[in-house]
Structure 1
Amino acid sequence: MSTEPSHYHRHVAEQKRAAIIEAATRLFLDSGYASTSLAKVAEAAGVSKATLFKQFPAKAALFDAIVSESWKVDDVVSPPTGDLRRGLTAIGHRYVELLTRPGMAALFRIVIAELPRFPELGEAHFERGKLPYFDSVRRYLDAEHAAGTAELEDTELAATQFLGMISNYVLWPRMLLLDWSPDEASMAHVVDEAVLMMAARYGAITR
């Protein structure tokens, strides 16, 4: 007899995991990281404490999962090289989708609010969320440089510049303005302008 869980049991486990992560995010934001216990999360998620502890034996592990889930993208493969504008446009729109996901702004607020007491939350957010995504953009720029379609001496700086132009409009005002909600056309325009600036600065000159 196979010891592998059935499709049904895997589906149930995934549903419970999603409920736990959603409940924990809400409680962390409402009550703070320190005041939220795993028992409270289990109650809010509608699962037993045994079920929660089986998946997340510590609160830090649960927060790590929240970060990883929030930054996960379906398309992790970089665009093909050869067309810097097209590739950056695809990355830019994917970044907008990521930053405007429900709960992303809340996740940043949790980290910022709790950082003085729990610096490990900031480290987790950086190491398991922002850094892997940033590295994917840097690798794409490395590939364009290697292909001769971009002239880049510092791809880390270039990736910072590109993502910063987008997040400075899409995400960071949400940290101070609860009603900040630019429409899709405005965000698409920001991406287009960021791509044009990157292409003007780093695009290879063909002769």
Structure 2
Amino acid sequence: MNAEAQIKRGRKFDQVIEGARAVFMREGFEGASVDEIARDAGVSKATLYSYFPDKQHLFLEVLRQECDAQSEVEVLFEHTGLSVEEKLCVICKKLITFFLSDFGQDMFRVCVAEAKRFPELGTTFYESGPKHWGERIAGFLRSDKARAVLDIEDPYLAADQLAQLCRTDLMLKVMFGIETNPKEDEIDRIVDEAVRTFLARYRR
């Protein structure tokens, strides 16, 4: 089922999205009701259903928009004047910050919980987040500037390896509530080690 084909824009579309975002972030996917979303959005249920056929499609659109807003991938890759090592540090810092963010954590939990009953949710999260990140990182690794420093045969595999180096025990501690306020120096230490390990494998 193509969710995009079922969505139409209109005067109150953004209002519906804002209300849905607030409710989903507060109640989660299962806990959110269409009635509550309509109340928070300040619209009628009829108006909400005129844009979205059901709660699932509404959540998918919120997810797409949040991934786009949170990842800031395009802005990240516009950094100029940085060395390859510095650019890798920027990439890793942004990845870790996203993994540890309330949004990143909430969406991961929801997608895992709903994956079997709502597989399109996991696909959308993957394509809007991890896949998009991977493609942009792989594109950087294929650039002339990166290739002058790095010897990489498979940029997509290397991009995934870099991301995996950022998914440390700290991510699990935050997810399980063991660590609630990660210190900046701990994040920077993970960034440094991830980049050093990556360079040890791929530097010419």
The TM-score bracket by the shorter chain reads 0.7 to 0.9
Q: 1:162 to 1:150 in 2, by over 3 A?
A: same
Gaps (5+ residues) in structure 2? Answer: 1-10
Q: Distance in 1 between matches of 2:123 and 2:144?
A: 30
Q: How does 1:1-207 map to 2 (within 5 A)?
A: 14=14, 16-29=16-29, 31=31, 36-72=32-68, 73-77=71-75, 78=77, 79-80=79-80, 83-143=83-143, 147-175=147-175, 177-181=176-180, 182-204=182-204
Deviation at 1:67, TM superposition (A): 2.2
Q: Percent identity?
A: 28
Measure the CA separation in 2 of the matches of 1:104 and 1:110: 10
**Given the two structures, how large is their TM-score scaled by the length of structure 2?**
0.77
How many residues align? The count is: 190
Cα distance, 1:65–1:164 mapped onto 2, change above 3 Å: same
What letter corresponds to residue 161 of structure 2 in structure 1?
Q
Preserved contact between residue 64 and residue 128 of structure 1 (Cα < 8 Å): no
Q: CA deviation at 1:142?
A: 1.5
Shift of 1:167: 2.1
Q: CA offset at residue 114 of structure 1? A: 1.6
User: Within 2, Cα distance between the matches of 1:137 and 1:81?
Assistant: 17
Q: Does structure 1 retain, via aligned residues, the 8 Å contact 2:111–2:122? A: yes
**Preserved CA contact (<8 Å) 2:84 2:145:** no
Give the whole-Å Cα distance in 1 for the aligned partners of 2:104 and 2:126: 14
Please tell me the residue identity of whatever aligns with 1:197.
Answer: T
Distance 2:101 2:52 in 1: 23
* Aligned alpha-carbon RMSD (Å): 2.8
Question: How far apart are residue 110 of structure 1 and its match?
Answer: 0.9
Q: Which amino acid aligns with 2:199?
A: A
The answer to whether the 8 Å contact 1:38/1:59 transfers is yes
Q: What is the alpha-carbon distance in structure 1 between the residues aligned to residue 96 and residue 82 of structure 2?
A: 23
Instruction: Tell me, in whole angstroms, the C-alpha distance in 2 between the residues paired with 1:103 and 1:110.
Output: 10
